[in-house]
Amino acid sequence: MSFNSKSLLRKFLIWRYKHISERQFIYILSILVGFLAGIGTVTLKNLTHYIRLLFELDFFNNYQNSLYFIFPIIGLVLVYIIKQLWLKKHIGHGISSTLYAISKLNGIIPRYNIFAALITAPLTVGFGGSVGLQGPAVSVGAALGSNAAQLFHMNQKTRMLLIGCAAAGAMASMFKAPIAAIIFAIEIFSLDIAFTSLVPLLLASVSAVVTSYFFLGTDVLLRFELTDKFQINDILFYALLAVVTGFASVYFSKVFFAITNFFKRFESRAKRLLIGAIAIGTILYFIPPLYGEGYGIMNNLLKGDHLSAIGIIPFDLDLSNIWIVIGLLLGISVFKAIAMTTTFGAGGVGGVFIPTLVMGSALGNAFAKIINNIGLDFQVSESNFTLIGMTGLMAGVLHAPLTAIFLIAEITGGYELFVPLMIVSAVSFAITKYYISHSIYTLKLAERGELMTHDKDQNVLMVLDVDKVIETNFITLNPEMKLREILKNAVAKSSRNHFPVVDEDQKFLGVIRLDDIRHIMFDSDLYDKVDAASLMHADAGIINYEEDSMQDIMTKFKTSGAWNLPVIKEGKYFGYISKSKLLTAYRQQLINFTK
């Protein structure tokens, strides 16, 4: 930022402090962030659309099937080149990275995140990578929200709120569903539901929707108007679908983690690219409906046109046979999770949200077709079950049942299906939660103790910076040191009452407290006879810098009853944490959370 820009910003901030209250300014910023998130989402959509137009060129018409293999590889190679030669930085999954920034980086997101996903996600999806744009849209919006908060010198709590506003804005702009967007931000990002945070979310969501309408008109991603009403006679079938989507969600999540762990075995990104690109190209060659995000599948199934949803496949199959169609739809359901995660493994950039909807739509539609064609004279609405299947997968995979209910209700233009939406969301979520404790977005963060939740006490502990509570100004002793030297070079020169004993490699051996030597410190006969090794003893516990979260540290203080515990970093003594300093930092952070 130039000197003139800094001067103007300083003058504006001074004027703002004098004339606009903090709450009013947050409202203004939430509108701005919603607008920016909307612009980011529109840009992602348009860039992806223009890349997809390559398929419509006459030159490619005769090579359609081959391109399903070639194009995804080209897109992944381009993303790899951009990452390696230009960005030279890691691009994480949008929502997971945003959650990590909230919990561990005080809501500070690097500026490069604004354009990183904006460039790489359209290349991944536009060239056929089987992932979505919702995650990148949230990533772009969150980076814009965080940097706007930093620009105007907003505090940590406001930065986190504006990131939530950006997430709501991205969702609202993507689906033109402002109510579901607010619930999404609250449910996924664990935002406080107080009135002070609800109003900014509303403003951001509306701002983003208006922006989307301004640039894209009334065009929506999911085009459907509910015509078949809920029938109470179908309640049992909805309950069965709930169970099916619950276990399908478990399958989706398990596949995601298994394939992700498989690709982590390869340290070289080039190897991941080679293996993943060939794998995804092969999958898309044999199952073309998995190409790209998959909105065509969802929209065609909602219209009742399963032939267009399946598209052209490289097999000579009789698609007039409904059981072959059902088999193909189930195949799409099974392989969508595989194709999506393989795209990620190869280095592609995208989101999980849309693939979840695609899998749910195919599964729900296939379920309805089985009921209608099993020969027992049952007849259910295939479009309704398609929608409910999407709801079940969203509730299970994302662990977001309320978002699932309100998104589907909002995009259908009514709440006729509210009862089955609630049943399927609740059951699917409960089944998935039983087998998988956290969603795809949050499992790894939760395992590392880095997940923000609705538990305020836990959140306060999580955002505490362990480095700020570690004290390193302790005089260390070696085990051969005699009592005379201990008294002269440690006790006499330190205001502390305990002294860590370490070996020549700085490995922690034990501790000597002032009380341990008080009874002999004036006995000169022992000055050259007693050494540190004979006086030291084990501490009440040890804190592992790399492994222990703040929650773990607090638990160790509680179980050990100690007031000071040593910290070991990379196998060596690093310092001490005192309970008093930890509690002081906790109280200050709690004030920051609640004010």
CATH number at 273 reads 1.10.3080.10
Q: Is residue 450 part of a domain?
A: yes
Residues 508 and 580 grouped into a single domain? yes
Helical spans, DSSP H, in 105-234: 112-126, 134-151, 156-175, 178-189, 195-216
Domain boundary among 438, 454, 470: 454
% of residues, the chain, pLDDT over 70: 87
Q: Is residue 381 part of a domain?
A: yes
When the pLDDT of each residue in the chain is averaged and rounded to a whole number, the result is 82
Say whether pLDDT at 476 is over 90: no
Residues 410 and 271 grouped into a single domain? yes
Residues 421 and 545 grouped into a single domain? no
List all residues 6 or more positions away from 390 whose beta carbon is below 8 Å from its beta carbon: 298, 356, 357, 360, 361, 364, 404, 408
Residues 538 and 484 grouped into a single domain? yes
Q: Comparing C-alpha atoms, which of 378, 380, 387, 379 is closest to residue 416? A: 387
How do residues 537-551 score in pLDDT, each as one tens digit? 888 788 888 777 777
Q: What is the DSSP string of 480-494?
A: T-BHHHHIIIIITT-
Residues 373 and 484 grouped into a single domain? no
Are 350 and 135 contacting, i.e. CB atoms less than 8 angstroms apart? yes
What is residue 464's predicted lDDT score, i.e. its pLDDT?
66
Residue pointed to by tokens 């015509």: 227
Domain boundary among 439, 454, 469: 454
Looking at per-residue pLDDT, the higher value among 495 and 509 belongs to 509
Residues 423 and 466 grouped into a single domain? no
Q: Is residue 224 part of a domain?
A: no
Say whether pLDDT at 195 is over 70: no
Q: Is residue 223 part of a domain?
A: no
**Which range of residues forms the domain containing residue 361?**
232-454
Say whether pLDDT at 561 is over 70: yes
Integer Rg of the chain from CA: 29
Q: Is residue 356 part of a domain?
A: yes
Residue pointed to by tokens 């501490």: 539
Residues 241 and 149 grouped into a single domain? no
Say whether pLDDT at 11 is over 80: no
Say whether pLDDT at 90 is over 70: no
Residues 206 and 68 grouped into a single domain? yes
Is the overall model pTM greater than 0.85, yes or no?
A: no
Specify the number of domains making up the chain: 3
Residues 206 and 240 grouped into a single domain? no
**If you ran DSSP here, which 8-state letter would residue 351 be given?**
B
CATH number at 582 reads 3.10.580.10
**Residue 74: exposed, middle, or buried by beta-carbon count in 10 A (0-12, 13-18, 19+)?**
middle
Query: Which tokens belong to 257?
Result: 């983690």
Residue environment code for 304-315, b if the CB has 16+ CB neighbours within 10 A, otherwise e: eebeebbbeeee
Q: Is residue 259 part of a domain?
A: yes
Q: Is residue 473 part of a domain?
A: yes
How do residues 386-442 score in pLDDT, each as one tens digit? 999 999 999 999 888 898 888 888 887 667 788 889 999 999 999 999 998 877 777
Q: At what angle do helices 418-435 and 235-264 cross, to 10 degrees?
A: 40
- Torsion angle defined by CA atoms of residues 461, 467, 468 and 473, in that order, rounded to the nearest 10 degrees: 140
Residues 415 and 478 grouped into a single domain? no
Query: What's the whole-number mean pLDDT along residues 144-173?
Result: 85
Residues 280 and 422 grouped into a single domain? yes
Query: Which tokens belong to 105?
Result: 């980086």
Q: Comparing C-alpha atoms, which of 464, 294, 422, 282 is closest to residue 362? A: 294
How do residues 297-325 score in pLDDT, each as one tens digit? 888 888 888 888 887 777 777 778 889 98
Residues 211 and 289 grouped into a single domain? no
- Torsion angle defined by CA atoms of residues 68, 174, 356 and 95, in that order, rounded to the nearest 10 degrees: 110
For 43-57, 183-197, 336-350, which range has the lowest pLDDT when averaged over its residues?
183-197
Q: Is residue 121 part of a domain?
A: yes
What is residue 378's predicted lDDT score, i.e. its pLDDT?
85
What is residue 65's predicted lDDT score, i.e. its pLDDT?
63
Q: What angle do CA 139, 145, 146 make, to 5 degrees?
A: 90
In one-letter notation, the amino acid at residue 484 is R
Domain boundary among 430, 454, 478: 454
